[in-house]
Amino acid sequence: MKKKNFVTLIMSTVGGLLFALGMCMGLIPEWNTFWQGIVIGVVGVVILLAMVFVRRKMEGKPMIVLNGKAVGTTLLGVLGAIVFGVGMCMVMVWDMLVWGIIVGIVGIVLLLCPIPVIKGLK
């Protein structure tokens, strides 16, 4: 395993776990740990963002490349995550099972769309 892959693995695992634990702490009212959960979730997000910069530095690439394709694929991914989340809320919170599943599937498709945009079709 290459060093950059190992560092990415460790940082993404720690950041993802901290983010997930923070969100659980903030969203489960029985735990009474809302503000502590917010802090831990933010620490997880910071570690995940740092991982991106560390990975790019280890690959010898520039830190951030802002062009139309990068911004568009990022917006497409964010839109897909929001649509997927709305579908989950429709099913679990608002008791709209069929429409929630349909909206969730649309969100999954939107989340899959950036892959061919980034990698291209061969």
| pLDDT averaged over every residue in the chain | 91
In the DSSP assignment, the letter for residue 63 is: S
- Note if the pTM is more than 0.85: no
Query: pLDDT of 16-56, one tens digit each?
Result: 999 999 999 988 888 899 999 999 999 999 999 999 999 99
- The pLDDT, as a whole number, for residue 87 is 93
8 Å CB contact between 43 and 7: no
- The pLDDT, as a whole number, for residue 16 is 94
Q: How many CB atoms lie within 10 A of CB 90?
A: 19
DSSP 96-108: -HHHHHHHHHHHH
- The pLDDT, as a whole number, for residue 100 is 94
d(CA 85, CA 97): 14
- The pLDDT, as a whole number, for residue 62 is 83
